[in-house]
A and B are shown apart, each in its own frame.
Chain A
Amino acid sequence: MSRYEIRLSGSGGQGMITAGIILANAASIYEGKNAVQSQSYGPEARGGASKAEVIISDEEINFPKVTSPDFLVALTQEAYDKYSKDIKPGSTVVVDGAFVKNTGGGDFRLYSMPVTGTVLERLGKQLGANIATIAAANAIGGFVSEEALLKSVLSMIPKGTEDFNRKAYGIGLELAAEALGRGPGKGL
Chain B
Amino acid sequence: MSKDKRFLQGNDAVALGALYAGCRFFAGYPITPSTEVAEKLAAMLPKAGGRFIQMEDEIAAMAAVIGASLAGRKSLTATSGPGMSLKMENLGFGCMAEVPCVILNVMRGGPSTGTPTGPGQSDIMQAKWGPHGDHPCIALTPSTVAEQFTETVRAFNLSEKYRTPVIILTDEIIGHMREAVEIPAEGELEVIDRVKPDCAPEDYLPYDSSKGDVPPMANFGEGYRYHVTGLNHDASGFPTAKPSIIDSEERRLVRKVEANYDDIVKVEEFMCGDADRIVFAFGSSARSAKDAVLALREKGVKAGLLKALTIWPFPERHIKKYADGGVKGILVPELNLGQAVCETERAAGGKCPVEGLFRVDSEAILPSQISGTLERF
Contact = CB atoms under 8 A, between A and B. Distances in A.
A37 B367 contact: no
B179 interface: yes
B178 A24 contact: yes
B287 A38 contact: no
Interface in B258-291: 284, 287-288, 290-291
Interface in A1-36: 21, 24-25, 28-29, 34-36
B180 interface: yes
Interface string A93-135: 0000000000000000000000000000000000000000000
A63 B7 contact: no
Nearest to B181: A28
Contact of B291 (A21, A39, A63): A63
Contact of A21 (B5, B116, B178): B178
Contact of A64 (B32, B117, B284): B284
A157 interface: no
A181 interface: no
Interface in A38-71: 38-43, 61-65, 67
B124 interface: no
A25 B8 CA distance: 9
B176 A29 contact: no
B285 to A, nearest CB: 10
Interface in B164-184: 173, 176-180
A3 B124 CA distance: 32
Contacts of A42: 117
A62 B180 contact: no
B255 interface: no
A29 to B, nearest CB: 5
A61 B287 CA distance: 8
B116 A62 contact: no
Main secondary structure of the interface of A (DSSP, over half): mixed
B366 A36 contact: no
B360 interface: no
Contact of B176 (A24, A28, A39, A62): A39
Contact of B5 (A29, A37, A61, A67): A29
Contacts of A40: 117
Interface string B362-376: 011011000000000
Nearest to B294: A62
B357 to A, nearest CB: 14
Contact of A43 (B7, B116, B291): B116
A23 B364 CA distance: 23
B6 interface: yes
B287 A63 contact: yes
Contact of B7 (A28, A39, A41, A64): A28
Nearest to A22: B7
A36 B178 contact: yes
B178 A38 contact: yes
A172 B178 CA distance: 25
B350 to A, nearest CB: 31
A29 B183 CA distance: 13
A38 B176 contact: yes
> Which has the most chain A C-beta neighbours within 10 Å: B5, B180, B366?
B180
A65 B176 CA distance: 12
Interface of A: 21, 24-25, 28-29, 34-43, 61-65, 67
Interface of B: 5-7, 32, 116-117, 173, 176-180, 284, 287-288, 290-291, 294, 363-364, 366-367
14 contacts: A21-B178, A24-B178, A28-B179, A29-B7, A34-B180, A36-B178, A37-B7, A38-B177, A43-B32, A61-B179, A62-B287, A62-B290, A64-B173, A65-B364
Q: Please list the 3 inter-chain residue pairs (A to B) with the smallest Cβ-Cβ separation, ordered nearest first.
A: A28-B180, A25-B7, A38-B177
